[in-house]
Amino acid sequence: MSADSPSLPVAPVALATPATPEVTLIAPVAPVAPAEPAGPAVPVVDGIAVIRREIRTLPNLPGVYRMLAGDGMLLYVGKAKSLRKRVANYANPHGLSTRIRRMVAETASLEIVTTRTEVEALLLEANLIKRLKPRYNVVLRDDKSFPYILITGDHPWPRITKHRGARSIAGEYFGPFASAGAVNQTLAALERAFPLRSCGDAEFAARTRPCLQFQIKRCTAPCVGRIAAPAYGAIVAEARDFLSGRSQQIQQQLALRMSEAAAAQDYEAAAIYRDRLRAMAHIHSHQDINVLGVGEADVIALVEVGGQTCIEVFFFRAGQNFGNRAYFPAHAGETEPGEVLAAFVGQFYDARPAPAQVLLSHAVGNPALLGQALALGAGRKVTVSAPERGMKRALVDHALYNAREALARRQAEQSAQARLLDGVAELFALPARPQRIEVYDNSHIQGQAPIGSMIVAGPEGFIKGAYRKFNIRDGAIAPGDDYAMMREVLSRRFGRLAKAAEAGHPPDRIAGQWPDLVLIDGGKGQLTVALEVFAALGITGVALAAIAKGPDRNAGREQFFRPGSSPFMLEPHHPVLYFLQRLRDEAHRFAIGTHRARRAKGLVRSSLDEVQGIGPKRKQALLHHFGSARDVAAAGLADLMAIPGINRAVAQVIYDHFHGD
């Protein structure tokens, strides 16, 4: 989701629970001028007046309330067991923190959604915060899905593979794993211990001889009948048991079979069992196996230093450590650790099932209610606790140590990034350290599939969620005209920004913030184009520069162009030069990758795509019958009508498309 605040829905947000909340919208009162949120001395009288006016109509029911500013911006989302009592707390300014006082001061209207239970309100609150990212809530920025290991169940010969996303494929899922690398490492070891197929169903059906996986003893080649179904099913069951935490039983069984095979002088079979045992031992040596008292749990630890917070999450499944990941949620500095953890847990498990145990480093308010909310999504009992002693506390302490290390690394990186940004400000005579740098580049091959790209960098590095691609639409642009392509890209990008600014939207409400520096991959010509676009749109106050490779196109001899100045170069080992090279290379990488994706999409297009009424299924049926689009074009009307799903009317449309009148 973009970091920009989306428009607020008027209809209720769908709740991923069996219950459907009732909606009660409080009509917005006359807007008041929003107070300046930057300073502590914000007048809170107007906001309190709005809240007191609305309290009289609020129901004494559980639900979710939303505070809105005068321009419609969402300020805060909260849940309540009793909406009337909870919102009434905001009418007393003396008991409010500085952050909440600012929020109340900006409040011009109120919206509520009633629910049947407090648990439903908690789930809806987490869903809204995650989607809408209110200014005054604790917001989880990074919310990528986690990979799983999948043993499929929709084929007579199950396969083992990595899976990410919705669980739409029938089978058993094991995880989550902290990263794709952790899954790949585990799968590589599992293939040696449990030689199951990993190929797709289409490849499996088309095989006539074993693949390389069989040759290196990582598959038993069921595709060509090298293993019987009962024997293959036994390996599937062993893999399932191993991933479910019953590894010791599997090892004992394999050791017994190895001994029996060796006693029978079947040394080839004994060697196979030996190799599988070694592979299982390799997995054990790289994971914390059989952690006492923790079969399935997530360990979540919070560390706060210097106003920044790191939350480290460790995943334990079937007694194994499936990895860890660090998060850096955005929140006000005065927020208590328990409040931050509670908000994080609600958003973290909004779209994924929680394990049986969630172990926290800090106590949260009403952990039983939080456990009930997580249990609805998981479909089983979930316990939320902050252990104080024993093995579970040792796991929490280990997570705390990793959180401190991750936060220290992040702060060191931010310090180095700040020094580089200060160097950029000095190099291009900027008034202050740039908070947003946009870099533009084009990519094409002899004018084909032209693409423009924009990448964004800031104090925390690359902001990949803000990257944008531009398909060049102007058909009048001559193939390979880089200047015209850059003109279109910049006109579209800054034309939207200028139009939004004219409409009176504040910068953080515009679809993409104003940059402090625009860096063009090119030379004087591209810079001239950018200046012309800015002049036509009336844009001022945005610094412009271009970076071009030197005469021999060698890295380290880049030339920089600024309006009204002569080109200049930096010392070959200057740190700011390396930084700007990295920005330029990232823009180049993104542009080329986007261009290749568009070109590949164009290569798979067929002349059948231009026939009206021909969708993917009919297209597939035609190609399977005739073999190619050229043969479809040459087919007669009767031949077309012989295809299943092609009636006379559709056949006539296809025939007329390829034969004109």
Residue 52 lies in a domain: yes
Report residue 354 as tokens. 């929680």
| Residues 118 and 199 occupy one common structural domain | no
The string of pLDDT tens digits covering residues 576-615 is 998 999 899 898 888 888 777 766 665 445 667 777 777 7
How far is the C-alpha of 613 from the C-alpha of 203, rounded, in Å?
31
Cα end-to-end distance, the chain, whole Å: 49
- Judge whether 376 lies within some domain: yes
Nearest C-alpha neighbor of 455 from the set 331, 589, 606? 589
C-alpha distance from residue 468 to each of 59, 250, 451, 499, 597 (Å): 45, 50, 11, 18, 14
Name beta bridge partners: 438: 456, 518
Which residues partner with 22 through β-bridges? 114
Taking only the tens place, the pLDDT of each residue in 399-431 is 998 898 888 888 888 888 889 999 999 999 899
Q: For residues 138 and 123, what is the distance between their CA atoms, to the nearest angstrom?
A: 15
CATH number of residue 360's parent domain: 3.30.420.340
Q: What pLDDT score does 520 carry?
A: 92
pTM above threshold 0.75: no
| Residues 221 and 235 grouped into a single domain | yes
Question: Is residue 419 included in any domain, yes or no?
Answer: no
Question: Domain total for the chain?
Answer: 5
**Alpha-carbon distance 639 to 621, whole Å?**
13
Instruction: Using the 3D structure, point to which of 222, 251, 285 is the last residue of a domain.
Output: 285
Please indicate, yes or no, whether residues 458 and 593 belong to a single structural domain of this protein: yes
Last residue of a domain, one of 132, 160, 178: 132
What is the predicted pLDDT for the residue at 182?
74
Of the pLDDT bands very low, low, confident and very high (cuts 50, 70, 90), residue 658 is confident
Domain end call among 260, 285, 310: 285
What stretches of 365-452 show up as alpha helix (H) in DSSP?
A: 367-378, 390-427
Query: Using one digit for the tens of pLDDT, what is the confidence trace for 541-550?
Result: 889 999 988 6
Whether residue 518 sits in one domain with residue 403: no
What is residue 24's predicted lDDT score, i.e. its pLDDT?
A: 38
Range of the domain at 502: 437-602
With contact defined as beta carbons under 8 Å apart, do 594 and 453 qualify? Answer: yes
DSSP, res 457: E
235 contacts 210 by C-beta, under 8 angstroms: no
The CA distance from 372 to 305, in Å, is 31
Over residues 139-150, the mean pLDDT reads 76
Same domain (yes/no): 462, 577: yes
- The rounded distance, in Å, linking the Cα atoms of 72 and 74 is 6
| pLDDT surpasses 60 at 76 | yes
Which CATH number characterizes residue 623's domain?
1.10.150.20
Average pLDDT rounded to a whole number, residues 362-380: 87
